[in-house]
Amino acid sequence: MERLESIVEAMESGDVPLTELLTKYEEGAKLIARCEERLKTAELKIEQLKRQRDGSVRLEPFATSETPESA
């Protein structure tokens, strides 16, 4: 995240040559994709196990105040 923030700051400064700006944009896009993948993995790990009456176990998504569509 720190690297992504520094890329955004550099891009917003307006002092970056176009070729370097494109390189930073590509790096930022890759970092965003990596962050999204890590978030998806973390969400899967948060799922809760619920024990049923018959003793079986089922996965139940972790309840959040936001739905994936609104995030």
Domain ranges of the chain: 2-60
Alpha-carbon distances of 19 from 2, 6, 11, rounded to whole Å: 22, 17, 12
pLDDT by position in tens, the chain (length 71): 899 899 889 889 888 898 998 999 999 999 999 999 999 888 777 665 565 667 676 766 666 665 554 44
The pLDDT of residue 1 is: 84
Residue type, 10: A
The radius of gyration computed from the CA coordinates of the chain, to the nearest angstrom, equals: 20
* The Cα angle at residue 58 between residues 60 and 55, in degrees rounded to 5: 140
Bridge-partner residues for 50, per DSSP?
Answer: 58
The pLDDT of residue 48 is: 55
Is-above-0.85 flag for pTM?
no
The pLDDT of residue 15 is: 86
The pLDDT of residue 26 is: 94
